[in-house]
């Protein structure tokens, strides 16, 4: 457990100083190649859990300390240890013992005794702290205060449910490749392999318990992909049929790109500005046996990559705050700042304005985000319609709401379907 606690502390210290959780975890595992799979899984679980409940854990720590800590490493160690004590089944004595041993190696003078005292005090006062230390909604739901205020103002009846859903473990949802098998047949195959699952809709199957992709039958052969049900809606909303020219304007890592190609024989261009992430698109295409033109380029600057041929369909899955997928990326809520939303909105408007001339008459553009903030969603679309009188906002098929909020079936997404006469 010593390597687990020290590793989790190191990862959390980097994330809370401004670095992406997945990237930090990947670097840590490369730096310690001898870690066992179980140790890697434990480090990842502790880091995700600590970030998911960070506001509450900080509230506990404030209540337990006589004065703020000057040693940030000890602070991070205490936070991950409090998470373990509050939310895992690991033996409390082992958590405390290993935390003390880590403190002895990384802390300044007195760190060992302080860590021991704080953690044992938490165990004695745990029930009382659960009420006395939590002073506001930011502590209670473990979100920055500005985030809570924005959701409360936007969703006066649902803000608590959105925050609670975003603090849960996300469901694992599969997308069946209809070019390889049927949803019914894959459900039977999962059952034969002892994997419990249920059909949601169309190609979407949700597992009752997550499993490694290595356990999914015929995953390597392209029968199925992992993709949230909310994300799977994009391809369906675009009204695809054979022969169309389609642009996926912000394509990486390629989930929506591949879904569109699974549904129809279209001439698809997958565009993204990030060359490294485009490799993920190519890998997914190869695994699924699909073909697309893969281009590196900025969706907001078409002059550098567009050949002048108009597209019949455009998916503009634009960069956003990712506030709808926080349960998959809990570092987001601590790395985002309130003024980031306006910056994303500016970038989104630039991309929309740049892509609109690329759409053929009679074509459709689907604007998509994984955000729950209105500045990036309906307000963005309203402003676009005001700038472009030739654009028409269409009702989404199946009476689907534009704004999806996180729940047991899907993450948070926004979709707006725009048509050009």
Domains and CATH numbers, the chain: 2-135 (1.10.940.10), 172-227 (3.30.70.1170), 233-419 (3.40.50.150)
Q: How far is the C-alpha of 242 from the C-alpha of 34, rounded, in Å?
A: 49
Report phi then psi at 197, rounded to 5: -155, 165
Would you tell me how many other CB atoms lie within 10 Å of the CB of residue 241?
12
Number of Cβ atoms within 10 Å of the Cβ of 329: 17
Which of these is catalytic: 47, 250, 320, 370? 370
Handedness of CA 19, 20, 23, 29 (dihedral sign): positive
3-state secondary structure of 175: strand
Average pLDDT, rounded, for the chain: 96
Give the helix/strand (H/E) hosting 313. strand 311-317
Structure tokens that stand for 195 in this block: 């994997």
Residue range 339-376, pLDDT digits in tens: 999 999 999 999 999 999 999 999 999 999 999 999 99
Global pTM reads 0.94
CB count within 10 Å of CB 170 equals 18
State the pLDDT at residue 135: 92
Active site residue 320: no
In residues, how long is the chain? 421
DSSP string of 333-375, one letter each residue: HHH--TTHHHHHHHHHHHHHHHHGGGEEEEEEEEEEES---GG
DSSP 94-140: HHHHHHHHHHHHHS-TTHHHHHHHHHHHHHHHHHHHHHHS--SHHHH
User: What's the pLDDT score for residue 70?
Assistant: 87
H or E element at residue 6: helix 2-15
pLDDT of residue 107: 63
pLDDT in tens, the chain (421 residues): 788 999 999 999 999 999 999 999 999 999 999 999 999 999 999 999 999 999 999 999 999 998 889 899 999 999 999 999 999 999 999 999 999 999 988 866 678 899 999 999 999 999 999 999 999 999 999 999 999 999 999 999 999 999 999 999 999 999 999 999 999 999 999 999 999 999 999 999 999 999 999 999 999 999 999 999 999 999 999 999 999 999 999 999 999 999 999 999 999 999 999 999 999 999 999 999 999 999 999 999 999 999 999 999 999 999 999 999 999 999 999 999 999 999 999 999 999 999 999 999 999 999 999 999 999 999 999 999 999 999 999 999 887 899 999 999 999 999 999 999 9
Hey, what are 324's tokens? 């709808």
pLDDT by residue (tens digit) across 32-81? 999 999 999 999 999 999 999 999 999 999 999 988 898 999 999 999 99
Nearest to 312 by CA among 387, 400, 241: 241
In this structure, what DSSP letter does residue 327 have?
T
């Amino acid at each position: 457990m010593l390597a687990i606690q020290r590793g989790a502390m190191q990862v959390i210290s980097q994330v809370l100083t401004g670095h992406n959780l997945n990237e930090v975890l990947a670097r840590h595992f490369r730096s310690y190649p001898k870690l066992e799979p179980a140790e890697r899984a434990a480090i990842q679980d502790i880091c995700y859990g600590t970030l998911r409940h960070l506001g509450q854990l900080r509230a506990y720590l404030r209540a337990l300390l006589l004065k703020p800590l000057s040693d940030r490493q000890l602070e991070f160690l205490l936070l991950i240890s409090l998470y373990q004590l509050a939310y895992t089944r690991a033996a409390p004595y082992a958590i405390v013992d290993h935390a003390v041993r880590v403190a002895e190696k990384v802390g300044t003078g007195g760190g060992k005794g302080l860590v021991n005292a704080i953690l044992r005090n938490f165990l004695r006062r745990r029930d009382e702290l659960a009420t006395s230390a939590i002073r506001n909604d930011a502590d209670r739901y473990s979100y920055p205060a500005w985030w809570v205020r924005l959701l409360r103002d936007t969703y006066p009846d649902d803000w608590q449910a959105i925050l609670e859903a975003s603090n849960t473990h996300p469901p694992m949802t599969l997308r069946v490749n209809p070019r390889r098998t049927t949803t019914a047949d894959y459900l039977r195959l999962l059952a034969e392999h002892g994997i419990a699952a249920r059909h949601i809709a169309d190609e979407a199957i949700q597992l009752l318990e997550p499993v490694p992709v290595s356990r999914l039958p015929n995953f390597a052969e392209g029968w199925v992909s992992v993709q949230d049900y909310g994300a799977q809606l994009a391809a369906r909303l675009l009204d695809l049929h054979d022969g169309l020219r389609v642009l996926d304007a912000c394509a990486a890592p390629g989930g929506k790109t591949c879904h569109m190609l699974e549904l129809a024989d279209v001439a698809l261009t997958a565009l993204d500005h990030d060359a490294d992430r485009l490799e993920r698109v190519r890998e997914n295409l190869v695994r699924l046996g699909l073909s697309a033109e893969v281009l590196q380029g900025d969706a907001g600057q078409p002059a550098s990559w567009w050949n002048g041929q108009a597209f019949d369909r455009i998916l503009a899955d634009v960069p956003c705050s990712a506030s709808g997928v926080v349960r998959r990326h809990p570092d987001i809520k601590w790395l985002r700042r309130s003024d980031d939303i306006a910056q994303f909105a500016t970038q989104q408007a630039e991309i929309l304005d740049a892509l609109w001339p690329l759409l053929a008459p009679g074509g459709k553009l689907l604007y998509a985000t994984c955000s729950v903030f209105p500045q990036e969603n309906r307000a963005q679309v309203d402003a676009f319609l005001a700038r472009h009188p030739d654009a028409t906002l269409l009702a989404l098929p199946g009476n689907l709401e534009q704004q999806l909020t996180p729940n047991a079936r899907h993450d948070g997404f926004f979709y707006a379907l725009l048509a050009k006469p």
